[in-house]
A and B are shown apart, each in its own frame.
Chain A
Amino acid sequence: MKVRVYVSLKNGVLDPQGRAIHHAIEGLGIHGVKDVRAGKMLELEVDDTVSDAALEEMANKLLANMVIENYRIERLDSSEIRA
């Protein structure tokens, strides 16, 4: 089973990288983008023995730094995977 963990900066935490990307988007001549926040997405291939609790533990202890980041875990059934 595929699991995706989305890691994003908490609200209020300055994101200089997102700001630079925002600036670059404007440089393309595309306007109307109000804000950009950069994060990361980790894709895990796990077997059925990996519990939700284990996924929470790895996200809490390693994948995200809870001082500055939040995470969201998504289990993808094969039917849910879209191109």
Chain B
Amino acid sequence: MSFRSAVITFPGSNCDRDMADALEKVSGNAPFRVWHGDAELPSGLDFIALPGGFSYGDYLRSGAMAARSPIMQAVIAAANAGVPVLGVCNGFQVLTESGLLPGALMRNAGIRFVCREVALTVANSQSLFTGGYSQGQRIVIPVAHHDGNYFADDATLDRLEGGGRVAFRYAEQVNGSARDIAGILNEAGNVLGMMPHPERMIEAAHGGMDGRALFERVVKGLVGA
């Protein structure tokens, strides 16, 4: 069976090619490339990825303009219909701005852009995206962001933690995120937003392969081994 995925490109996305490459390497099928101004997604998608970058130059707020672009109406509808959606870095910011995930990503507590490999722990290994990891597993994935400081009110944070919706936590100080949150799931479990870049850790030449299990799991979970 083939794996039908789409990578959305906004003006200013810059990790869309890496994301498409990762999906093709792991699944054997090249994803559809979809432009922000498109009104419709290809039919019968198994998976949608919102890549990293600086959509619309981060104008107003990171992800704010992209979240209101034409294609996002289709992505929101697909997510609500159960299609798995992964947002990485700017993609995570777009997901919070669009209301698919709660909270907001604010300027890093240290104000500086952070671009390095960081240690994460897998906080929920039962999700569609994280089932290829073991609970509490420590993995190393690069981050590259200025606005990765996750914020939500305490009630929302409690709800996320209580519902197993924190997928990844930072195992070290990175950006001041509330409760060290690096990635969260929506209530239904089919939308994951994360600041670290798993698509940059899928083959030996990347210096590590800790991101590969995420894509492998998604592909295996959706089209079978």
Interface residues of A (CB under 8 A from B): 13-14, 16-17, 20, 61-63, 65, 67-68
Q: Does B97 lie within 8 Å of A16, measured CB to CB? A: no
Interface of A is mostly: helix
Q: How far is the CA of A67 from the CA of B101 in the complex (A)?
A: 12
Contact (Cβ within 8 A) A20 B111:
yes
Q: A65-B97, A67-B151, A68-B106 in contact; A16/B61 too (CB < 8 A)?
A: no
Closest to A12 in B: B153
Secondary structure at chain B's binding surface: helix, strand, loop or mixed? loop
Check if B83 is an interface residue, CB within 8 A of chain A.
no
> For A65, what are the chain B residues with a Cβ–Cβ distance below 8 Å?
61, 64, 97, 104
In whole angstroms, how far apart are the Cα atoms of A17 and B61 in the complex?
14
When the two chains form their complex, are residues A67 and B176 in contact, meaning their CB atoms are under 8 A apart? no
B residues in contact with A68, CB < 8 Å: 104, 106, 151
Q: Determine whether the beta carbon of B152 is less than 8 Å from that of A67.
A: yes
Number of interface residues of B (CB under 8 A): 20
List A contacts of B151 (CB < 8 A).
13-14, 67-68
Q: Is B60 an interface residue (CB 8 A)?
A: yes
Out of A14, A20, A63, which one reaches B176, CB within 8 Å? A14
24 contacts between A and B (CB under 8 A): A13-B106, A14-B109, A14-B151, A14-B176, A16-B106, A16-B108, A16-B109, A16-B110, A16-B149, A16-B176, A61-B68, A62-B60, A62-B64, A63-B60, A65-B61, A65-B97, A65-B104, A67-B96, A67-B102, A67-B103, A67-B104, A67-B151, A67-B153, A68-B104
Give CA–CA (A60, B60) in the complex, Å: 13
- Bound CA–CA A17/B60 (angstroms): 15
What residues of B have a CB within 8 angstroms of the CB of A20 in the complex? 111
Structural contact, B111 and A16, CB atoms closer than 8 A: yes
Query: Would A17 and B111 be within 8 Å (CB), given that A65-B104, A67-B151 are in contact?
Result: yes
- Residues from chain A with a CB closer than 8 A to the CB of B152 are 67
